[in-house]
Every structure is written in structure tokens, then in C-alpha cells.
A and B are shown apart, each in its own frame.
Chain A
Amino acid sequence: MHPALQGLLTIVIGVGGCVGYFYFSNVLLDRVIFPARGRDMGRNINRANMVRPWLFLFPAIFALGLYLAYPVAETLRLSLTDRAAGGAFVGLANYQQMMAEPKFWEALRNNFMWLLIVPAAATGFGLLAAQLTDRIRWGNLAKSLIFMPMAISFVGAGVIWKLVYEQRPVDVEQIGVLNAIYLALGGAEPQTWMTIPLWNSIFLMVVLVWIQTGFAMVILSAALRGIPEETVEAAIIDGAGPFQIFFKIKVPQIMGTIMVVWTTITLVVLKVFDIVFAMTNGQWETQVLANYMFDKLFSANDWGVGSASAMIIMLLVTPILAWNVYNARKEMR
């Protein structure tokens, strides 16, 4: 069968199956199990209404259980076993082994650096873009351009930026924009940017900032528009300049939204994998936790240490996630 037809069939079966499930399970509940007639009509209606939410939630709970809760438990179990010993329980040995590896500490250190720089930079640039594009005529065009990287996959973005950082021998024309600029500004010879420790991590972060700025901008732009115009006018009359209005009147009023954006990007950063994998694969001291986990699990085939690092990532993400949800709920009220 033609792949397109296969795809179409899958969609029809999938969507049809969903609709069918909700429709027929509902019919079954109302007509057969608790029919709204006969002697117990009132009681049956009440019971059906009590069961119905669970009936409709079932597919979601089942899928989340299968693909989220079960893997967490399984990963925890695997992190306490050793593959070489046939899956025997080894306690915290995997964790001890991991702690002894310098590459793990490098990944942790790099992740921490990503954590400090990327959310701050993306939120900051996003806020700047939101404020600056709000008042100009071609602001919407600028916004679409800034938002566009959001539509590109992380791997795709990695490939694009790898070309930007590309280097050619000194006597050949440079195809990498960064080296071209570097030479034009008087640099002696093209640099292999991806191999310069510390700087290469920052060059990788630029990719994620480039992607996430659009997200931050869209959310913050909506928040800025929600600020009552009168408070700004009152500040103008009070004698505040543009910078004072921005930092003392506008930013504090959208602080809640800024925190939500910040923590959301932080979560993305903690899980960053694709960009590092596609561009350096953790070489030249650019390792991050997610890529370390991937290395261990699928390259070294060591499920024990791989799972242990996965647990560490989850441990780091959970409190930020909880805080993010708390902030987002507060914003909605």
C-alpha cells in the first residue's frame, strides 16, 4: 500500500477509534449499565454521572500510565541493576560509578551553565523584542521572523548553526558566517569554533536561545498588552522616563508571566539533547546530562548508569516543574 494511504488510514482509524470509544462507551453506560428508566431511574442517572468522568478520562490515564508512570518506575529499577551481571540488583553501585566519572561532572557542570545562561538570555531577548516590536508598524512582521525558529526542530536548528560555525582552510572561501566575519574583522586564520572549550558550549547555547526567544516574546508581548494603559500614563505624568516606565512599571506588573516563561525554558534546557547530539555529541567538553544518558544507554549499552543519569535529570526537573505549574496557576487566577 502507498505510504500516504497508510498514513491516511492510520489517521482515520485513530480518530475514528477515539470518537467511537467516547460515543459507544457513553451509550453503553446510559442505556445498558445504568439505564435512565424503570424503578431506579433517579439513582441510575446519579451513578452514571459519577462514573462518566472516569470513563472519559480512562484513555488518557491509561496512556500516561503506560508511557510515563511505568517508564519512571522501570528506569528506577534498572538504575539499581547491572546488565553485565544479568540484571542483578546492585544497589547504588551504578550511581557510585557515575559519580566517579569526570564526564558526568562535566555534563552536570555544563548543564548548570546552560541553566544560568539560556533561560535568562531567551527571556531577556524575548522581553526586549516584545517591547520593541509592540510600537512599530512592521512589528508584526518582526515578530513572525523572531518566532519562526520555534517551528524548526532542534536537530534542524543544530544543522543550520553547524553551517554558521563551519570552517574551511585559510586559502578557501569561508562558508561559515562566523568565520567569514571573523576573518573580515582581521582574524588571522579560520577557527574550529566547536573545539574551543567553554566557547563551544556558549555557541551551542546560542542555538537554543535563538529558538526560545520567539516563545518568550509571544507570551511576554501578550502580557505587556494586558498592562492597563492608564498606569503607564500615570507614570508619564509622574515624570518617569521610558526606562523607568519599562523597569519600574511594566516589568513588575508582568513578573508572574516572566517567571512562568523563565521556568518553562529552564525545563527545556535541563532536557537539552538534540542540539548537543547533532553538533558536537558531547565532545570537546560540551557534554550535557541528556546526551550523557544517551551515550550510556545506547552507545555503551550500559542501562544501569544510563538509567541512573536519567533519574538525576528527573530529580533536577521535578522541583522546577512543580514551581512552574504553581506559577502558571497563579497567573490564571
Chain B
Amino acid sequence: MAELKLTKVGKTYGGSVEVLKDIDLDIKTGELIVFVGPSGCGKSTLLRMIAGLEKITGGTLEIDGMVVNDVPPAQRGIAMVFQTYALYPHMTVYDNMSFALKIAKKSREEIDEAVRKAAKILQLEEYLDRLPKALSGGQRQRVAIGRSIVRDPKVYLFDEPLSNLDAALRVATRIEIAQLKESMPDSTMIYVTHDQVEAMTLASRIVVLADKGIAQVGSPLDLYERPENEFVAQFIGSPAMNLIPGEIVGTGAQTTIKLDREGVAMSNVATTEADVGLKVNAGVRPEDLVEATGESYLYDGKVALLEALGEVTVLYFEPEHGRDPVIGKLPGIHDDLRGREVRLTADPAKVHVFHQGQSLLYR
């Protein structure tokens, strides 16, 4: 039930070390926004600034139209779930969940009702008398989430909540968070992760942070299908998108790129006469590369390494000096391609064109 508006928000440590600058972002009620980015990009810092645990050194943060830069965390109407759970080790599950309400001097009945309700949602009813150390990792994280629910905040903040869980629990808890969001369609959530599967599955919109700022904001599939720049193109999707250098030779509704090492890429990105001769990178996702049947091909190379996963086969081609190897991902089993020359091509609709790091789609 809350809108957030970040205007030119920045963070500088000690007056000289700038970690974030000019972050502009509008978050609407009921959205689940995911911040992703490489380590050290400031995504956790941004979340902590929204929470009020870090001071905002530039710009303004508004929650529901009110500037909250100098409002203490407890009065911002936010609740936060930490990566390390941050449960109070000396309190039972019940006391952990009721602590905020006790501080707020709510009546005993009110507290009891809120805690029991949250415990029921999270299936923690039988653990209410236990201390955190007697719980498993997944249960602890549910208690941490319960502690947030009890406060009925306007905005939920999650700081890498699944990082400390093992792989199986991570999937289960991720689904629980998705269901929780379903059951509370009006609550706004902000979620920080470095795991793009979490980002893709949970987010209504993803904010990719890089180099002190926002690289792109959009729905998960938006980022996947229409990345604005090479950073987002390579960050979203695994393995990362191939970038193959070349030069534009044909323009129009369809662009023809002659690649530096033989091969021709066709792309549905429109270009004009003026673009002829422009140095560009053709971007193709590994999963969009298919074996070429005709004469024309996009890429031709020798398979250096092959990973047969059953469902797909990942081909790593011999790298050219100084560049990442081109990677192909073919559906099904292709065990026989090991060490062979393979010719690949791609649907023009799936070929991206980048000039100086920016996608020509967004000119």
C-alpha cells in the first residue's frame, strides 16, 4: 500500500568515495522490485538507504509522497528481512515476532492475534516456544519473514534472504515468498539478490544496478528480450550473451552485419543508410544459436569443450585471442559434436546490435 519515489538518490562515503549516484526510480503499490547487479554494485546499500540504516547523502526518497530522508527506520513503515536472518538469539520465536509490537506498546491481545496469524501463514505455529538455535535455516528465515509480516509494513525489504540456505531450501523458500506476495497483492516489496533466477522468477520489475547507477529497469522478459546495453545483455541470461564484433554492411528494416571473422549476422533491428560501416557487436544468446542448414551462417568454429546436460548441450568454441569464447546451447543431446567444426546461425529476431555498448534498438 505504498509508492516509493527515488529522485537523484546518491551515496558517498567519507565525502569522497561515491558508491551510488543519481538513482531515479518510481515504485508503484503492489510491485515486487528486484535489485540485481554484480557484487559491490551498491544494491544492498541502496536497500539499506531505503530502510534508513544508511544515510542518504544525495537526492530524496519519498514514501507515499512524504520525504523520509531523515525519518528514523521504525517510522518509515518498512520491515526488513536480512540475509543472516538477524533473529534475536535469546528470544523465542514468539518473542522475536512480537518484539516490534511490544516496543510500539500494542495491547497483549493485539500482539497475540498478529503473531498467531503470521505464524499460521508461515506454518510456524508449533515452533512459537522455541529458540532460534533449535530451528533449521529455512524455519529461521520464515521467522524473520514473520517478524516483518507482524508489523504490517507498507514496504517489505528483503536483503538476499535466500543466500544462506542450501539449494533445495532456496527453491522452496523462493516459492513461499512468491506465494506470500500473491496473498498480499497490495504490499510493495523490494528484494535484493545476485541470483538472476530469483530475480527472473519473483520480480514484477527488475532494476539492474551497475557502475554506481541503474543500467536498466524493466520486466524480467523485457530485460531478457530487449536489453538496453551490453552490460544488461550479458548479466541477464546464463550462459551470458555472445558478443561478436563486426561492421554494418546492409541497412533498412533488417540490418546485415559482416562479422570480423567470416560469417554474417542478420538482425531485425532497424538501421538507416548513415549506419553503414558502423563498428558494432552482434549479440546472440547461446540458446538462440541453431545449427546452420543452408550456405549462410553466423558463426563457424571448432568445439573446444562440450557440456552434455541431457536437457541441453553447451558448446564452448575455441576462443579468439583476448575475447570470451563463443558459447552455443543446443536443445537435446549432441555428444558427437565434441572437437568438430560446427556452423551456427540465428533467427534475425533474436540478434541484438550494440554500438559502443548501447543497443541500437533504443536510439
Q: Is the interface of A mostly helix, strand, loop or mixed?
A: helix
Asked if residues B79 and A231 are in contact (CB atoms below 8 Å), the reply is: no
B96 to chain A, nearest CB (A): 9
- Tell me, in angstroms, the Cα distance from A228 to B88 when the chains sit together: 10
User: Chain B: how many interface residues by the 8 Å CB criterion?
Assistant: 26
With A235-B99, A237-B53 known to touch, is A230 a contact of B74 (CB < 8 Å)?
Answer: no
Whether A237 contacts B78 in the complex (CB less than 8 A), given A228-B84, A230-B84, comes out as: yes
Count of chain A residues near B, Cβ 8 A: 17
A244-B103, A249-B88, A255-B90 known; A234+B82 contact, CB < 8 A: yes
The answer to whether B82 and A253 have CB atoms under 8 Å apart is: no
Task: Tell me, rounded to whole Å, the shortest Cβ–Cβ distance linking A239 to chain B.
Answer: 3
Q: What is the interface of chain B mostly: helix, strand, loop, or mixed?
A: loop
Asked whether any CB of chain A lies closer than 8 Å to the CB of B104, the reply is yes
CB-defined contacts of A237 to chain B, threshold 8 Å? 51-53, 73-74, 78-80, 100
Task: Considering the complex, give the chain A residue whose CB is closest to the CB of B51.
Answer: A237
From the candidates A231, A234, A239, A252, name the one contacting B80 in the complex (CB within 8 A). A234
Residue in B closest to A234 when the chains form the complex, CB atoms: B86
Q: Which residue of A lies closest to B84 (CB)?
A: A230
B87 proximal to A (CB < 8 A): yes
Closest to A227 in B: B89
Instruction: Check if B205 is an interface residue, CB within 8 A of chain A.
Output: no
Question: In the complex, are the beta carbons of B103 and A239 less than 8 A apart?
Answer: yes
Residues from chain A with Cβ under 8 Å of B86 in the complex:
228, 230-231, 233-234
> Across the interface, which residues of B come within 8 angstroms of A235, CB to CB?
88, 99
CA distance A231 to B140 in the complex (A): 13
The minimal Cβ–Cβ distance linking A265 to chain B, given in whole angstroms, is: 23
A185-219: contact bitstring with B at CB < 8 Å (1 yes, 0 no)?
Answer: 00000000000000000000000000000000000
Tell me if B343 counts as interface (CB < 8 A to partner A): no
Q: Is the CB of B103 within 8 A of A231?
A: no
Query: Which residues of chain B from 75 to 95 have a CB within 8 Å of any chain A CB?
Result: 75, 78-80, 82-91
Task: State the B residues within 8 Å of A (CB).
Answer: 51-53, 72-75, 78-80, 82-91, 99-100, 103-104, 147, 151
Q: A237-B78, A238-B103 are in contact. List 10 more A-B contacts (CB 8 A).
A: A230-B82, A230-B83, A230-B84, A231-B88, A233-B53, A233-B82, A237-B52, A244-B103, A252-B90, A252-B91
